[in-house]
Amino acid sequence: MDKARKIRLAKRYTSRTVVYLGATLLAIFFIFPLVWMIVTSTKTEMQYANDLGSFATFLPNFSDLSTFFGNYVSVLTQYDIWKYGLNSLAYAAAVVVGNILINALAGYVMAKFTFPGKGFISFIIMFLLIVPVETTIIPLYSIVHNLGISGTVLAVILPALVSVFNIFLFQQFFTNIPKEYIEAAQLDGASQLKIFLIVMIPLSAPIVATVATFAFIGVWNDYIWPTMVLPSPQPGEWPLYPIQAALTTIQSIDGVTTGEVMASLVVTSIPIFLVYVFAQKHIVEGIGAGGLKL
């Protein structure tokens, strides 16, 4: 091996080492708050105060295992966070199904049909992609109020059923599907609706998985809109608020401990973590299949 090649290999290995070391340090830096949250959720207020300011802050306290999961028991039983979690799951299930069907159908029509005003609608979709969601909250609230559904679960579900980004995603994917698939189904006597359900939807599995993931995460993390359109929880009644609103409710309770707050944060983060772990591959495939670049 000549000297020049050795130098090139040395530079390459040095560069990779620096990159890997930097990425590792950056990952550790970002994971520290998560570790602190999980560790603190297993401690009593006294244990948390004693460990604060030392490296023990990032280490679990195994000295008293009887209180290790005490904060989780308190959050799930005393503060009824499981009720808010069930609400979020119900809202997410309805929104995910509706998002897939409605946005996929709209994307299919935009991709495979020709009709008057199609170009203008495409322009509106592209324009709405850059409009911040925050600018639509007040007009949307006025519409929901005028429809008479404010204060009901429909006010949370209906506005979330349509997403211009998801429509655009489906449209891009369906545009790239060869027309021979549709023609073959038409020769078999299939209607347009049947073609959509038994041909287009199965072919768009990566996009469906991506849309379902984004819809679930959006509903699970939603806080501002549900608190605007849903009534405040009343004693003795089943709350309609989603789980993110429960976090604010718990933090405002007198006497709540830091460990209980952290335990509630862990509980609300677990579903998002699991969704990302199992759907990460599908998200990448779906974005790529939709003709977009990450």
**pLDDT tens string 95-104:** 999 999 999 9
From the list 266, 288, 267, 205, the residue with the least C-alpha distance to 38 is 266
Read off the pLDDT band of 216 (50, 70, 90): very high
**Boundary residue ending a domain (26, 47, 74):** 74
**Tokens at residue 88, please?**
């979020």
Assess whether pLDDT exceeds 90 at residue 282: no
Residues 53 and 68 in one domain: yes
Distance CA 191, CA 199 (A): 11
Per-residue confidence (pLDDT) for residue 131, from 0 to 100: 82
Q: Is the pLDDT of residue 94 over 90?
A: yes
* CATH number of 212's domain: 1.10.3720.10
Tens of pLDDT along 260-277? 888 888 888 888 888 888
Task: Say if residue 105 is in the same domain as residue 70.
Answer: no
Instruction: Give residues with Cβ within 8 angstroms of 34, minimum separation 6.
Output: none
Nearest to 73 by CA among 267, 268, 272: 267
| Identity at 240, one-letter amino acid code | L
Handedness of CA 145, 148, 154, 160 (dihedral sign): negative
Same domain, 87 and 182: yes
Residues 100, 237: one domain?
Answer: yes
Q: Considering its fold, how many domains does the chain have in total?
A: 2
Same domain? For 54 and 129 the reply is no
Q: Among the listed ranges 47-56, 179-188, 216-225, which one has the minimum average pLDDT value? A: 47-56
Q: What is the pLDDT of residue 286?
A: 60
